[in-house]
């Protein structure tokens, strides 16, 4: 029987997967990254991984970008169905754990070093306080770590799909722009990679901002438009991209503040996901923290909450491995 543990972080775009020893430090013995578009489901991806490494596992844990119920998940941004029983039967796993990807990231927070975090707001951390986690990537994930007498309890959430609440006249116009394109306008429709493209399209509509020809050509190619917008904004090459990122950061900060209040996260708010490290300088500017604090009488409470960006891209992978090691 194999003495390895398998862990994976399955996002809307890519999957990080690794094998770990059953005991000892969480140092992978094999690790790969795959683009999900190359597979029609998780099972063929796992077969490819095992074929390449020549290794198997006796237990597995998968962090998945979607709601997990009764050991199953239908991934909203990918179309895969993941079933723990089916995976156990197919691959002979003794145990299969399925976690929401933000749950997995939450379990990975304890494995991070100070160098793997960027402090946006130092605050005054409460060692017995709750923690909140928000992460924009292909979608928008949220979760809470609730402090209990027996330790931290990770509570999964699909809060990113809650109704978007505009904060000013421009965001109200953005809300009015989106319904013909999306039946339900959630925070994820704004605060995500796809959401950034929605903001850009809104600014381009009605000639609010001009789109330079060279930028129109890049956007027409469809190769990660969110990255194109962010890069242009960071370099300040186009007004439309700068404004798109300002709105993105303001809405990100507003929803982060909402989550911090709901979680009462006096232990800190962590920002995960693939987008944040790539646009880190923007978190130190006015838009994010101003919107985060803009909660009226509760602004002082939020000001005392530490806010940190997770720089380690494989925190969810490590969290899935840590969960598996602890539980199985």
Q: Looking at the DSSP assignment, which residues form a beta bridge with residue 155? A: 144
More confident residue, 314 or 325: 314
What percent of the chain lies above the pLDDT cut of 90? 83
Phi, psi of 158 (to 5 degrees): -120, 40
Q: Domains in the chain and their CATH numbers?
A: 4-107+314-327 (3.30.420.40), 114-311 (3.40.367.20)
Q: How far is CA 27 from the centre of its chain?
A: 23
The set of long-range contacts for 14-17, using a CB threshold of 8 Å and a minimum separation of 24, is 15/42, 15/45, 16/314, 16/316, 16/317, 17/45, 17/46, 17/49, 17/317
pLDDT at residue 183, as a whole number: 83
Confidence label for 241 from pLDDT (cuts 50, 70 and 90): very high
- Count of alpha carbons within 13 Å of 104, Cβ hemisphere only? 32
Residues present in the chain in total: 328
What mean pLDDT is predicted for residues 303-320?
96
What mean pLDDT is predicted for residues 175-200?
93
pLDDT at residue 325, as a whole number: 84
Sign of CA pseudo-dihedral 222, 237, 178, 194: positive
What mean pLDDT is predicted for residues 222-241?
93
* Interatomic CA distance for residues 226 and 243, integer angstroms: 13
For the ranges 5-19, 20-34, 88-102, 255-269, the lowest mean pLDDT is seen at: 20-34
Whether 1 has a pLDDT exceeding 60, the answer reads no
CA-to-CA dists, residue 135 to 48, 106, 190, 291, 304, angstroms: 28, 11, 13, 16, 21
Inter-axis angle of helices 239-263 and 286-293, nearest 10:
30
What percent of the chain lies above the pLDDT cut of 70? 99
pLDDT at residue 146, as a whole number: 96
| Average per-residue pLDDT for the chain | 93
Whether 320 has a pLDDT exceeding 60, the answer reads yes
Phi, psi of 259 (to 5 degrees): -65, -40
Please state the pTM of the whole predicted model.
0.91
* Interatomic CA distance for residues 26 and 321, integer angstroms: 7
Confidence label for 52 from pLDDT (cuts 50, 70 and 90): very high
């Amino acid at each position: 029987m194999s003495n390895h543990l398998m862990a994976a972080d399955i996002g809307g775009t890519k999957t990080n997967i690794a094998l770990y020893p059953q005991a000892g430090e969480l140092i992978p013995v094999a690790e790969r990254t795959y683009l999900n578009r190359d597979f029609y489901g998780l099972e063929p991806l796992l077969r490819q991984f095992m074929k390449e490494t020549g290794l198997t596992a006796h237990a597995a844990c998968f962090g998945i970008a979607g709601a997990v119920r009764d050991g199953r998940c239908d991934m909203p941004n990918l179309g895969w169905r993941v079933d723990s029983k089916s995976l156990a039967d197919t691959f002979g796993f003794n145990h299969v754990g399925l976690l929401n990807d933000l749950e997995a990231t939450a379990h990975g927070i304890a494995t991070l070093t100070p160098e793997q975090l960027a402090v946006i707001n130092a605050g005054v951390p409460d060692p017995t306080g709750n923690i909140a986690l928000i992460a924009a990537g292909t979608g928008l994930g949220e979760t809470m770590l609730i402090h209990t007498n027996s330790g931290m309890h990770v509570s999964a959430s699909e809060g990113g799909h809650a109704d978007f609440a505009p904060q000013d006249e421009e965001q109200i116009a953005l809300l009015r722009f989106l319904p013909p394109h999306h039946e339900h306008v959630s925070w994820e429709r704004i605060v995500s990679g796809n959401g950034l493209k929605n903001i850009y399209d809104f600014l381009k509509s009605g000639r609010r901002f001009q789109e330079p020809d060279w930028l129109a050509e890049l956007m027409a190619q469809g190769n990660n438009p969110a990255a194109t917008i962010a890069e242009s904004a960071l370099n300040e090459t186009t007004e439309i991209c700068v404004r798109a990122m300002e709105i993105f950061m303001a809405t990100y900060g507003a929803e982060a503040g909402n989550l911090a209040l709901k979680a009462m996260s006096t232990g800190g708010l962590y920002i995960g996901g693939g987008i944040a490290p790539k646009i880190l300088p923007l978190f130190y500017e006015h838009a994010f923290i101003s919107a985060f604090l803009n909660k009226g009488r509760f602004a002082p409470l939020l000001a005392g909450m530490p806010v940190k960006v997770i720089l380690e891209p494989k925190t969810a992978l490590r969290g899935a491995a840590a969960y598996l090691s602890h539980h199985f």
